[in-house]
């Protein structure tokens, strides 16, 4: 029931949250944190490469050894001294004994690793790497290209190919993606929409968790400080819960709108121009849907978090009740991430219509594929139906739990609260 008392609680929540330092701080901090994480990840990836790696490269044929010795010194990371190579020629039978003799040096990492290139690699390109830490992706990915170049040139050495033909033979396939849509026709698509899908997923995930825990903490604090008893002398538990959740939901949606402003400016103005490979295609309708969907999602989850906060008297006790709700956010987050790899996977397609999961999965989906308008309306209706289904339950739990103090209730007792009639 939304009346003047509910509206008074609503205004109190808006005033407390929007004008708070925490709201301003988090609105600015989260984007900065995202860019900081990306920057830190880039730094860590750059530092993950082996500096001063000592590699022994062993081949079975003299020709392969000569080709490696001719090509590898020209590679930038060898010139810079990040990698040093020692070249040997020996058959596999001798290599096995040699490997055993060098075992202590490999374990002590005086030798970073041994690469054995058998003669059969000219047919199947299978190369062996022996090291204390053989699953070093930074090293193997960096060396796979130069090794492949030598193998290709060695394979075609006696076939009298020109340099252009050799360059073509060792070049990998480069896909250029074009999006075919009914409204916009055929357009080349870069990586922008993949980034956008990840951005939507990350923002929804973080915001739902953050707003949920803030609401739960607020309920617990009001319960412990007895403020709730003063409030309930003027409003009913139902009005208090409704006003609190609506106020927090509007605050969260406003924060999301602020975070999405750069994207809105990019699609509605020509003030900013992105590089072609990062251009994205998203409609204003999709942004409006994301905000409406997020607002409905906030009401849904904040109702559950508020009910959990009313049951317990401390943040530590509330952890046991919070985890099932957090799983309803974490699982859709990982499902949405799989869309970046395969936008048409069937699990994500189903989850984009299910209660709770659609709140995160569908926004990630609309950034990658054209979603019919009826599907967007359907997910909104499903999520609205979810609100009407869970709010009577959350309301009963909140109504009893908010005034209950003393011993922590068992889940069996909480279930009994649902049977009470008012």
pLDDT tens across 304-324, in order?
999 888 888 887 878 877 888
What would you measure as the largest C-alpha separation in the chain, in angstroms? 94
CA atoms lying within 13 Å on the CB side of residue 282? 33
| Tally of domains within the chain | 2
How high is the pLDDT of residue 191?
Answer: 66
Report the range out of 38-47, 226-235, 286-295 with the highest average pLDDT. Answer: 286-295
pLDDT in tens, 241-284: 888 899 889 999 998 998 888 888 877 776 666 666 666 778 88
The CA distances from residue 72 to 146, 186, 266, 322, 341, in Å, are 7, 43, 45, 56, 34
Closest by Cα among 406, 29, 398, 420 to 218:
398
pLDDT at 205: 92
Angle between helix 373-401 and helix 237-268 axes, rounded to 10 deg: 150
State percent of the chain over pLDDT 90: 19
Same domain? 59 vs 101: yes
Residues with Cβ within 8 Å of 212's Cβ and at least 6 positions away in sequence, in order, are 301, 302, 304, 305, 325, 326, 329
- 418: nearest Cα among 387, 385, 395: 395
Integer Cα distance of 370 and 390 in angstroms:
31
Same domain, 82 and 114: yes
Same domain, 209 and 308: yes
Residue 38 lies in a domain: no
Q: Tell me which residue range forms the domain holding 283.
A: 4-32+191-417
Residue scoring higher pLDDT (99 or 420): 99
Provide the mean pLDDT of the chain.
Answer: 81
C-alpha 91, offset from chain centre? 47
Q: What is the structure's pLDDT at 84?
A: 85
Residue 156's pLDDT band, with cuts at 50, 70 and 90, is: confident
pLDDT for the residue 48: 47
User: Would you state the pLDDT for residue 181?
Assistant: 56
Residues 243, 16: contact at Cβ < 8 Å? no
pTM above 0.85?
no
Domain assignment present for residue 180? The answer is no
347 plus 254 within the same structural domain: yes
What's the whole-number mean pLDDT along residues 369-388? 92
Q: How far apart are CA 254 and CA 248, in angstroms?
A: 10
Same domain, 279 and 339: yes
| pLDDT average, residue stretch 231-247 | 84
Tell me: do 99 and 129 sit in the same domain: yes
- What pLDDT sits at residue 279? 66
203 lies in the same domain as 153: no
Backbone angles phi and psi of 183, in degrees to 5: -85, -40
Q: With respect to residue 41, please indicate whether it lies within any of the assigned structural domains.
A: no
Same domain, 55 and 22: no
Which residue shows structure tokens 């991430």? Answer: 337
pLDDT tens per residue, range 364-374: 998 888 888 99
Residues 105, 161: one domain?
yes
223-237, 273-287, 324-338, 366-380: least confidently modelled range: 273-287
Asked if residue 199 and residue 148 are part of one domain, the reply reads no
């Amino acid at each position: 029931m939304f009346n003047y008392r509910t509206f008074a609680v609503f205004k109190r929540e808006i005033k407390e949250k929007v004008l708070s330092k925490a709201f301003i701080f988090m609105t600015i901090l989260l984007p900065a944190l995202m860019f900081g994480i990306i920057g830190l990840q880039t730094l860590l990836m750059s530092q993950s490469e082996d500096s001063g790696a000592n590699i022994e490269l062993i081949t079975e044929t003299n020709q392969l050894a000569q080709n490696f010795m001719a090509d590898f010194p020209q590679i930038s990371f060898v010139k810079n001294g990040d990698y040093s190579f020692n070249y040997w020629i020996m058959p596999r039978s001798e290599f096995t004994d040699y490997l055993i003799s060098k075992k202590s040096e490999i374990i002590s990492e005086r030798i970073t690793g041994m690469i054995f290139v058998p003669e059969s690699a000219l047919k199947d390109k299978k190369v062996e790497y022996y090291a204390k830490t053989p699953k070093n992706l930074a090293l193997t990915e960096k060396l796979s290209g130069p090794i492949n170049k030598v193998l290709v040139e060695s394979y075609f050495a006696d076939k009298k190919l020109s340099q252009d033909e050799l360059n073509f033979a060792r070049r990998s396939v480069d896909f250029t993606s074009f999006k075919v849509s009914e409204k916009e026709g055929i357009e080349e698509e870069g990586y922008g929409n993949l980034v956008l899908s990840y951005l939507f997923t990350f923002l929804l995930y973080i915001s739902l968790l953050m707003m949920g825990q803030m609401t739960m903490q607020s309920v617990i604090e009001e319960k412990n400080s007895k403020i709730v008893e003063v409030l309930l002398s003027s409003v009913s538990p139902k009005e208090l819960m409704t006003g609190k959740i609506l106020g927090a939901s509007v605050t969260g949606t406003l924060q999301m709108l602020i975070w999405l402003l750069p994207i809105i400016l990019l699609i509605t103005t020509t003030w900013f121009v992105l590089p072609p490979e990062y251009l994205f295609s998203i409609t204003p309708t999709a942004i409006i849907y994301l905000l409406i969907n997020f607002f409905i999602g906030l009401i849904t989850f904040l109702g559950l978090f508020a009910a959990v906060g009313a049951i317990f008297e401390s943040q530590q006790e509330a952890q046991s009740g919070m985890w099932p709700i957090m799983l309803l956010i974490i699982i859709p987050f990982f499902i949405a991430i799989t869309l970046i790899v395969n936008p048409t996977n069937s699990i994500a397609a189903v989850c984009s219509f299910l209660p709770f999961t659609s709140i995160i999965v569908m926004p990630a989906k609309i950034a990658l594929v054209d979603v019919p308008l009826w599907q967007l309306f359907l997910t909104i209706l499903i999520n609205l139906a979810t609100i009407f289904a869970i709010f009577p339950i959350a309301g009963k739990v909140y109504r009893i739990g908010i005034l209950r103090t003393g011993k922590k209730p068992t889940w069996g007792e909480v279930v009994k609260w649902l049977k009470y009639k008012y």
